[in-house]
Amino acid sequence: MEPESAVTTCYRHPKVESHVRCTRCDRYMCPACMREAAVGHQCVECVKEGARSIRQPRTAFGGRISTVSVVTYALIGLNVLAYLAELARSSVVDRFDMRGAGLVGPDGGHYVWQATYPSGFHPRGVVDGEWYRLLTGAFLHLPPTEGTFGILHIVMNMVSLWNIGRVVEAQLGRARYLALYLLSALGGSVLVLLIAPGTDTLGASGAIFGLGAAYYVMARRLGADMRGVNRFIAGLLLWLLISAGLTSWQGHLGGLLAGGIVTVAYAYAPRDRRRAPMQAAICVGLLALLVILAVVKVSGLRSGAA
C-alpha cells in the first residue's frame, strides 16, 4: 500500500491547503497570499522586499515625486480656517498676529512700544515671551473691517499660493517644500522684529515671497527659459517696493531672503548620498540663525526697558 502524500499548506495560513510555491523563496502560498510576477508568482513578503530594493524616483532636487499638491492644499486650508476664526472672533487677530513689541495700558488699550514706559503699562508681543507669534501671524490676514483690501488680502495671497505653491511643491517634494514655506514665514517675521519691532503684521506674503525666490532659483538650476521667470520676479520685486507704503515690506524681504537661501541649498547640494543631510543641515542652520537673531533682539529690547 502506497503511503498517503503529505498535505502542503500556506506559510501564512496553515489551515489552507496550497500547492503553488513562491518563485523567490520557494514557500507554499494560498491564492490570498499570491502575487503575480514577471515569471510565476511571488508571496507577499518577497514582493515587499523587491519593492524596497527598487530605487524610488526623485525630482531634480531630491524630493519624492508626487502628483497631488497635498501640502499646498493643506496650507490654503489652514489659512482659510484661520480667517474663518477671525470672522467668528475678532480677538484672534490681536492674540496671534506678528507683534514684536507693544504695550498694553491700564485701560486695556494697545500702545506703541517705547523703551521706558509709565507705571501701569506692561509689554505685549514677542518681547513678552509670546514667541508663537513669529509663525502664527503668517496664517492670519486682514479682517473684512479693513475695507476692500481686507478681503483682497487673503484672496490675493491664496491665489498666489495656489499658482506658485503647486509648481514648487512638485519640484521639491512635500518635506522640503514645507520646510521652505515655514522658514520663509519665520524669516519674514524675524526681519520685522529686527527692523520694526513695534509694527503689527499678519499675512502669508512673507512665505509666498520665499516661494517666489525658490521658483527663480529652481528655474536657473534647471536651465529653463528665464524670460518668463524674470518677468515674474520683476513683478514680485515691484510689489516689494509698492508694499513699502501699504504693508510690511520687511516681512516680504525677509521671506524672499530666507526662501532664496533654502532653495540654493536644495538646488546646489551634491547629487549623491550627501545631498539630503546637507540640505537638512542648511535648513537647521538657518533656523538656528533666525532663532539667535530673534533672541538677541528681544534681549536688547528687554534690557532697554529695564
pLDDT score of 168:
93
Sorting pLDDT into bands at 50, 70 and 90, what band is 193? very high
CATH 1.10.3720.10 fits 70-305, yes or no: no
The answer to whether residue 91 scores a pLDDT higher than 80 is yes
> What average pLDDT does the segment 155-174 reach?
91
End-to-end CA distance of the chain: 104
- Domain map (residue ranges) of the chain: 1-54, 70-305
At 1 the pLDDT is: 43
Taking residues 242-247, what's their average pLDDT? 63
Side-by-side strand order, sheet with 122-124: 110-112, 102-104, 122-124
**pLDDT of the residue at 94:** 86
Kindly report, residue by residue over 66-75, the tens digit of the pLDDT: 788 999 999 9
Taking only the tens place, the pLDDT of each residue in 19-63 is 888 888 888 888 888 888 877 888 888 888 877 665 667 777 777
Mean pLDDT of 223-245: 76
Would you say the C-alpha torsion 60, 280, 202, 89 has a positive or negative sign?
Answer: positive
Contact 139, 82 (CB under 8 A): yes
pLDDT of residue 244: 58
Q: Name the pTM for this structure.
A: 0.80
pLDDT tens for 253-299 read: 999 999 999 999 999 988 878 888 999 999 999 999 999 999 999 99
pLDDT in tens, 96-131: 999 988 888 887 777 777 777 777 787 888 988 999
Measured distance CA(246)–CA(242) in Å, rounded: 7
